[in-house]
């Protein structure tokens, strides 16, 4: 199983881009990178996922390095409501028996 490493905490100024890194150097060829976030006392919220190409949706962008050993989640214009714990998870996308393993994540604080 691929493991991920994230910084424990980050600060970001409101209105600026928040770039959250994740290392997954042992990722397998069929494993996707998923990002979730958990705002205090709520369930995790799905943000984005990708395999090898960069992805963008209404919430964020996901940049995956060419060797797929690391990725960066980008929140282009962070707001105070983006303050949360962000989890990077690596799991196979096609094997429905695969479960998510949540690490400690990165606690992002968006500052006014």
Least spacing, CB of residue 103 vs other proteins, in Å: 6
Told to check if 21 binds other proteins by CB under 8 A, we report: no
In the three-class reduction of DSSP (H, G, I as helix; E, B as strand; rest coil), residue 60 is classed as coil
Regarding 76 and contact with other proteins (CB under 8 A), the answer is no
Binding of other proteins by 103 (CB under 8 A): yes
20-28, 57-65, 66-74, 86-94 -> range binding other proteins (CB under 8 A): 86-94
Q: Is 111 helix (H, G, I), strand (E, B) or coil?
A: strand
Contact string (CB under 8 A) for other proteins, positions 39-68, x = contact:
--xxxxxx--x-------------------
**Closer CB to other proteins, 78 or 86, in the complex:** 86
Per-residue HEC secondary structure of 15-46 comes to CCCEEEEEECCCCCCCEEEEEEEECCCCCCEE
Question: Is residue 102 close enough to count as binding other proteins by CB under 8 A?
Answer: yes
The label of the residue with tokens 């983006």 reads 82
Neighbours of 68 (CB within 10 A): 19
The answer to whether the beta carbons of residues 78 and 18 sit under 8 Å apart is yes
The residue ranges that bind other proteins (CB under 8 A) are: 32, 34, 36, 38, 41-46, 49, 87, 91-96, 98-105
């Amino acid at each position: 199983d691929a493991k991920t490493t994230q910084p424990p905490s980050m600060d970001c100024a409101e209105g600026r881009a928040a770039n959250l890194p994740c290392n997954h150097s042992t990722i397998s060829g069929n494993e996707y990178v998923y990002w979730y976030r958990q705002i205090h006392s709520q369930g995790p919220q799905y943000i984005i996922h990708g395999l090898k190409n960069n992805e963008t949706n209404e919430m964020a962008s996901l940049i995956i390095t060419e060797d797929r050993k690391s990725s960066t989640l980008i929140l282009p214009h962070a707001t105070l409501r983006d303050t949360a714990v962000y989890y990077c998870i690596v799991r196979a996308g096609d094997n429905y028996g695969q479960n998510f393993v949540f690490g400690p994540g990165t606690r992002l604080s968006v500052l006014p």
